Amino acid sequence: MPNDADMRAQLIAQLFADSAQANMATLAATDTRIVEAADLLIDCLDNGHKVLSCGNGGSAGDAQHFSSELINRFERERKALPAIALTTESSTLTAIANDYAYERLFSRQVEALGQPGDVLLAISTSGNSANVCEAIDSAHENGMNVLALTGKDGGRMAALLDEDDCELRAVANSTARIQEMHLLFIHCLCRLIEDHLLN
């Protein structure tokens, strides 16, 4: 009979295997699309525009992670790039949630900060986060393109995207696996942006 340590080791091995499977399935589905997404961001930044990012929970952390990588640096020395995570200003967030509704948490900020030519990085593991969906609508109203990171079937977000937008969808159903793919998407995008700037 396996002991507790053996069972936990087997669980860990299974989680690693599940992550590897999600990696390869997502790569097969999105490899050229990742390049298209990077080109969308590169065109935005090359033309003096900025990237706004949003998400809830772990996706809020990913939004902040992406923004920090652009403003500071990813792997190499280069100029700072303009990016704003819409998840960090507690006074703004609580004012909007209190005075309007939680669903307007990001759209109100996009309305204030977004300009034509900017890109919204919209992140939701389910693709159904109401406040992220409203942010997409606000971005389109402001003449912005959208890069959506989703999972499962893409949810409502996939249906909101315009022809010039881009979706990177993790091929997984587990929230944890989707979040792992989203972080890998972000690192791929940051690498391609830096390669463009430095080459």
Nearest to 109 by CA among 90, 130, 92, 121: 92
56 annotated to a ligand binding site: yes
Question: Is 107 annotated as contributing to ligand binding?
Answer: no
Q: Note the pLDDT of residue 97.
A: 97
Q: Is the pLDDT of residue 2 over 80?
A: no
Domain range for 63 is: 4-198
Which amino acid is present at 118? D
Is the alpha carbon torsion for 193, 110, 128, 90 positive or negative?
positive
Q: Is 150 flagged in the annotation as binding?
A: no
Q: How many CB atoms lie within 10 A of CB 164?
A: 9
pLDDT at 150: 98
Domain count, the chain: 1
Query: Which domain CATH number covers 21?
Result: 3.40.50.10490
E-assigned strand segments in the chain: 51-54, 83-85, 119-123, 145-150, 166-169
pLDDT-above-90 percentage for the chain: 96
Q: Whole-structure pTM over 0.85, yes or no?
A: yes
Averaged pLDDT score across all residues of the chain: 97
- Taking only the tens place, the pLDDT of each residue in 118-135 is 999 999 999 999 999 999
Q: Is 125 annotated as a binding residue?
A: yes
Q: Is 53 annotated as a binding residue?
A: no
- Is 98 known as a binding-site position? yes
**pLDDT tens digits along 63-109:** 999 999 999 999 999 999 999 999 999 999 999 999 999 999 999 99
